[in-house]
Amino acid sequence: MSSVLVTGGAGFIGSNLVKSLTGKGYHVTVLDNFYTGYHENISSFKNVDVVTGDIRDRELVNKLTTNVEGIFHLAANVGNLKSIENPNDDAEINILGTLNLLNAARDNKIKKFVFSSSSAIFGDVEYLPLDEKHPAEPDSPYGVSKLAAEKHCLCYSKLYDMEIVCLRYFNVYGINQRFNPYGNIIPIWAECLIDDKPFTIYGDGEQTRDFINVSDIVQANIKSFETKGVKGAFNIGSGGSATINELAKIFENVSQKKIDIIYAPRRKGEVLHSKADIQKARSAFNFNPEITLEKGLSEYLSWFKNLHICQ
């Protein structure tokens, strides 16, 4: 049985990845500080060792990487707006924490390392769809920290005998994504839906986002990990886009509820348009997103309602 380390494995994306990995027969060690992760996300999985700790702890990171064959690095301080308010956390966790893992992987001769990057590295869009060669000029300290961590990953891949993959996620949503005022618009609106509150749209609502379901993110992680010879940076999105106004309409259709909309001024640090070119990932490891926004949102809202019923 292959053993892997998943940092941030009790969080939204990490727990979905852990579920899939254990289902495929991997033994998984989860490292999570449980700041945004939840024990209940992973408590039912077999072949999982859970360690409460921080990726900034060098000694712990080195210990946990001594007997694993690969690393999925998802632990991060996430959020554009939050990073503007407190950029130091992003630098310490997203950059220095990643360096701790890279050094441990190098020292323990780990061959495969999959890093969860972000489309936030791009900043304002010069052309669509965004391919991997698009200029990276992030508009937030979060985007800067992800870009810096990504550059360290790619550098280590050149310097040492490691296949390091950087997956640039676009707007991820899905099961186990809880409400966070700094987080993705979909759980924020799901919370509003539950509480019968209006949706707030910042700007005119014609800004676009590439929404990708977490199950497709998991697919990208595992395929890039298991495909021999794959390394480098890859955009991971649905390959499509929807306006925020269109998203509100899909919420109405799926929930069968009339939703009131409040328009507010556009916020700093947010890009106007986003759409991923995913051809590189398709070619390198057969990445093929399968979940439509309508299907994924319907599944997510059912899970979200059950979560509130159980609380």
pTM: 0.95
In the prediction, which pLDDT does 238 show? 97
- Characterize the bridge pairing of strands 211-213 and 171-173: parallel
In the prediction, which pLDDT does 190 show? 97
Among 31, 27, 24, 23, CA closest to 7: 31
- Backbone torsions φ then ψ of 285, nearest 5 degrees: -145, 25
Among 300, 202, 208, CA closest to 254: 300
Distance, CA of 167 to CA of 218 (rounded, Å): 11
Q: Which domains does the chain have, with CATH numbers?
A: 3-172+212-238+275-290 (3.40.50.720)
In the prediction, which pLDDT does 80 show? 64
Q: Is the peptide bond before 265 cis (omega within 30 degrees of 0)?
A: no
94 DSSP 8-state letter: I
Distance, CA of 52 to CA of 12 (rounded, Å): 16
In the prediction, which pLDDT does 310 show? 59
Query: Residue 269 is which amino acid?
Result: G
- Characterize the bridge pairing of strands 208-209 and 242-243: antiparallel
pLDDT profile of the chain (311 residues), mean per 10? 94 98 97 96 95 98 96 89 77 96 98 96 93 94 95 98 97 95 90 96 96 98 98 97 98 96 87 94 98 98 85 54
In the prediction, which pLDDT does 180 show? 83
Catalytic residues, by residue number, are: 142
